[in-house]
Amino acid sequence: MTTAAITIHPASPADHAEIVDILVASYAEYQSSFEQSDRWEAYLKDIRESVDNPYLTELWVAKIEDRIVGTVQLFETAHKAYPNFDLPIDYPFVRLLGVDPEWRGHGIARELLQRCVESTKELGKNAVYLYTGSQMVNAIRLYERFGFIEDPEFSPVEGGGQAICYRYEIK
């Protein structure tokens, strides 16, 4: 853990460029798992446009001192998180959790997930969901340690990879 205090704040439009930079850096390690470069470029396009998504319920940043070191997005439902897919998950949905690679291992992702859990409670819901890819081993480890469990009902197999749906029950 870091000795500096991690604070979580709603993002402002002025934060968007820095958020995109953190997300691109955070997800860069997965580029080789995209067999076709056009799929990777489409993924990057989605990341870059995500901060302006009209369906976004909350966009959070984690800061240490005045530096943004992480970010996460929360949507009201799965359909709003993924409007091009028919997903019948009527619960808040986490997308694009990213931590600056220089700041990994300091509890930042955990703090951002906790903020999503708190927001979910404020929305009056008792569960929050997210998707991750089977190649995102470190993310899977984080989610499972946090208390997310796989929801096989919503874990589709697509394009040779496995999209894994995780659910966190709020007690």
Number of independent structural domains in the chain: 1
For residue 64, the model assigns a pLDDT of 95
Q: Which domain holds residue 151?
A: 6-169
Residue 1 lies in a domain: no
The Cα–Cα gap between 8 and 23 comes to 16
Q: Residue 109 has what pLDDT?
A: 97
Cα(31)–Cα(73) distance, integer angstroms: 21
What share of the chain in percent tops pLDDT 70? 95
CATH number at residue 111: 3.40.630.30
What are the residues whose beta carbons fall under 8 Å from the beta carbon of 119, sequence distance 6 or more?
57, 58, 74, 92
User: Has residue 159 got a pLDDT over 50?
Assistant: no
Average pLDDT, stretch 95-112? Answer: 96
Average pLDDT, whole number, for the chain? 92
Report the alpha-carbon distance of residue 124 to residue 149 in Å, rounded: 20
Q: What pLDDT, on a 0 to 100 scale, did the predictor assign at position 158?
A: 54
- pLDDT, position 161: 53
Region 99-117: mean pLDDT is 96
Structure-model confidence comparison of residues 31 and 98, the more confident one: 98
pTM of the model: 0.92
Is the residue at 143 inside a domain? yes
47-96 pLDDT, tens digit per residue, is 999 999 999 999 999 999 999 999 999 999 999 998 888 888 999 999 99
